[in-house]
C-alpha cells in the first residue's frame, strides 16, 4: 500500500474507504519507486543514450499506471452512478405512492377552506360578469369577498350609473346630430354667400373690362378728334364740345367701375373676417379640450390620494366588521368615481 493512498482522506466510512484502497493499490504499487526514479534521471549530454532510454521506459511505465488508474476510476464511477440512480429509483417509488395520498388527505383536511375558496371564486366570476356588462372596471375589485348587502348596494349604484351613461350618450348623440345639422346649414349658407360674392366679382370684372374698352375707345376717339382739330380749327371747337360730353359720360362709367371695385374689396374683407372667426373658434375648442384632459388628471390624482389614506386598527369584532363595511363601500365609491372620471 503506497503512502499517498494511506494518507488520502476520502471522507467515506472505513469499510468503503478500505474497499477503494484495495482496488487502487495493485495498480499503483510500483508508483512511488518509479516517481522517485523519474526525478533522479537527468540527461545532460547528447551522447547519454542510456539515460534517454531509461527516461522513456520510466515515462511509459508511469503512463500505464495513470491510464490503468483512470480506467478503474471510470468503471468505479459508472458503477456508483448506477447505485445512485437505483437509490433515487427506490426513493421515487416511495414518493409516488405517498405524495398522492398526502395530497388527497390535505384536501380532506382543508375541505371547508377549499369549498369556501371555490364558492368565493365562483361568486367573483358571476359578480364580475354582471358588473362588467354594466361598464364597471372590476380589475382591482375583490367582488368575491364583498358582503351580500354591500354588493347589492353597489350593483344598484352600478345600474344607475349605467343608465345615466346611456342617457348621456343618447343626449350627446342627439346634440351631435343637431350640431351637424346646424353646421351643414351654416356651411350651405357660407357656400351660398361665397357663390353670390363670386358672381358679383365676375360681374364687376366684366363691367371693369367693358369700362376699360370704352375708355380705350374714348381715348382713341379723342386722339382722332384732336388730329381733326389741328386741320380744322372751326370744326374742332364744335367737335370739342361734343367730345367733352362724351368724355363726361366715360368718366361717369369709370366712377361706376371704381365703386364696383370697392364693393368687391368689401366682400373680400368680409370673407377674411369670417375665416378669422372660424379659426378663433377652433383654437378655443382645442384649448377647452386640453383643459378637460388636465382636469381628468387632477381628479384621478385626488382619487388615488384618498384611496391611500391609512385605516385605523380595530380591536373588537364589531369594529372590524364595521371597518370592512366601510372599505367595501369605499371600493364601490372608488369604482363609480373612476368610471365617471373616465367618461368625462
Confidence at residue 60, expressed as pLDDT on a 0 to 100 scale: 94
- Cβ partners under 8 Å of residue 41, min gap 6: 51, 54, 55, 58
* Residue 342 reports pLDDT greater than 80: no
Within a 13 Å sphere around the CA of 293, how many CA atoms are in the beta-carbon half? 5
| Domain encompassing residue 70 | 3-111
191, 61: one domain: no
More confident residue, 342 or 51: 51
Would you state the pLDDT for residue 118?
Answer: 87
**Total domain count, the chain:** 2
- Give the pLDDT confidence of 230-280 residue by residue, as tens digits: 777 777 676 766 766 677 777 878 888 888 888 888 888 888 888 888 888
Which range has highest mean pLDDT (12-26, 78-92, 125-139, 283-297)?
A: 125-139
Judgement on whether residues 101 and 157 belong to the same structural domain of the protein = no
Q: How far apart are CA 141 and CA 154, in angstroms?
A: 12
Predicted local distance difference test score (pLDDT) of residue 241: 66
One domain, residues 93 and 143: no
Q: In terms of domains, do 197 and 81 share one?
A: no
Provide the pLDDT for residue 301: 80
Query: CA-to-CA distance for 111 and 312, rounded, in angstroms?
Result: 34
For residue 124, being part of any structural domain is answered with: no
pLDDT, position 58: 92
- Per-residue pLDDT band for 289 (boundaries 50, 70, 90) equals low
Residue 75 maps to a domain = yes
Clarify whether residues 88 and 228 are in a common domain. Answer: no
pLDDT tens for 54-95 read 999 999 999 998 999 899 889 988 888 887 888 888 788 888
**In which band, very low, low, confident or very high, does the pLDDT at 146 lie, cut at 50, 70 and 90?**
confident
Note whether 221 and 276 are same-domain residues.
Answer: yes
Is 236 among the domain residues?
yes
Cell numbers at 264, concatenated:
368687391
pLDDT at 5: 63
pLDDT reported for residue 7: 63
Q: What is the pLDDT of residue 39?
A: 92
* Residue at a domain's end among 57, 76, 111: 111
pLDDT in tens, 150-173: 888 988 998 888 888 888 888 899
Please give the pLDDT value at position 55.
Answer: 92
pLDDT at 1 over 60: no
Q: Is the pLDDT of residue 121 over 60?
A: yes
In a shared domain, residues 208 and 97: no
Q: Residue 33 above 80 pLDDT?
A: yes
Residues 128/134/140/141 CA torsion (nearest 10 deg): -60
CB count within 10 Å of CB 158 equals 23
Regarding whether 98 and 23 lie in a shared domain, the answer is: yes
Given 56, 78, 111, the domain boundary residue is 111
Q: Is residue 123 part of a domain?
A: no
Same domain, 142 and 240: yes
Question: Are 103 and 166 in the same domain?
Answer: no
* Mean pLDDT of all residues belonging to the chain: 82
Domain assignment present for 226: yes
- Asked if residue 270 belongs to a domain, the reply is yes
pLDDT band at residue 6, thresholds of 50, 70 and 90? low
Q: Are residues 284 and 147 in the same domain?
A: yes
Query: Is 117 inside any structural domain?
Result: no
Look at residue 112 in the predicted model and tell me its pLDDT: 78
The answer as to whether 125 is a domain residue is: no
Same domain, 102 and 187: no
What pLDDT does 139 receive?
85
Amino acid at each position: 500500500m503506497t503512502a499517498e493512498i494511506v494518507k488520502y482522506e476520502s471522507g467515506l466510512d472505513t469499510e468503503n474507504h478500505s474497499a477503494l484502497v484495495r482496488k487502487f493499490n495493485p495498480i499503483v504499487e510500483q508508483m512511488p519507486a518509479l516517481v522517485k526514479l523519474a526525478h533522479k534521471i537527468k540527461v545532460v549530454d547528447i551522447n547519454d543514450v542510456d539515460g534517454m532510454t531509461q527516461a522513456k521506459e520510466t515515462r511509459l511505465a508511469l503512463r500505464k499506471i495513470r491510464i490503468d488508474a483512470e480506467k478503474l476510476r471510470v468503471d468505479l464511477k459508472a458503477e456508483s452512478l448506477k447505485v445512485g440512480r437505483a437509490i433515487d429509483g427506490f426513493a421515487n417509488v416511495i414518493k409516488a405512492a405517498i405524495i398522492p395520498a398526502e395530497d388527497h388527505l390535505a384536501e380532506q383536511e382543508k375541505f371547508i377552506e377549499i369549498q369556501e375558496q371555490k364558492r368565493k371564486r365562483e361568486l367573483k366570476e358571476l359578480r364580475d360578469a354582471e358588473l362588467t356588462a354594466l361598464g364597471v372596471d372590476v380589475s382591482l375589485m375583490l367582488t368575491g369577498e364583498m358582503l351580500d348587502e354591500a354588493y347589492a348596494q353597489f350593483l344598484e349604484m352600478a345600474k344607475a350609473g349605467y343608465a345615466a351613461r346611456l342617457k348621456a350618450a343618447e343626449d350627446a348623440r342627439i346634440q351631435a346630430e343637431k350640431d351637424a345639422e346646424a353646421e351643414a346649414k351654416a356651411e350651405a349658407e357660407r357656400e351660398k354667400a361665397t357663390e353670390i360674392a363670386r358672381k358679383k366679382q365676375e360681374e364687376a370684372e366684366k363691367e371693369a373690362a367693358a369700362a376699360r374698352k370704352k375708355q380705350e375707345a374714348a381715348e382713341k376717339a379723342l386722339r382722332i378728334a384732336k388730329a381733326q382739330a389741328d386741320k380744322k380749327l372751326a370744326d374742332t371747337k364744335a367737335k370739342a364740345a361734343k367730345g367733352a360730353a362724351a368724355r363726361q359720360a366715360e368718366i361717369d362709367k369709370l366712377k361706376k367701375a371704381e365703386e364696383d371695385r370697392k364693393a368687391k374689396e368689401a366682400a373680400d374683407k368680409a370673407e377674411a373676417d369670417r375665416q378669422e372667426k372660424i379659426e378663433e373658434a377652433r383654437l378655443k375648442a382645442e384649448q377647452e379640450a386640453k383643459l378637460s384632459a388636465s382636469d381628468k388628471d387632477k381628479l384621478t390624482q385626488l382619487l388615488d390620494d384618498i384611496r391611500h389614506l391609512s385605516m385605523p386598527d380595530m380591536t373588537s369584532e364589531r369594529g372590524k366588521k364595521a371597518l370592512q363595511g366601510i372599505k367595501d363601500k369605499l371600493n364601490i365609491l372608488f369604482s363609480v368615481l373612476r368610471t365617471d372620471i373616465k367618461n368625462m
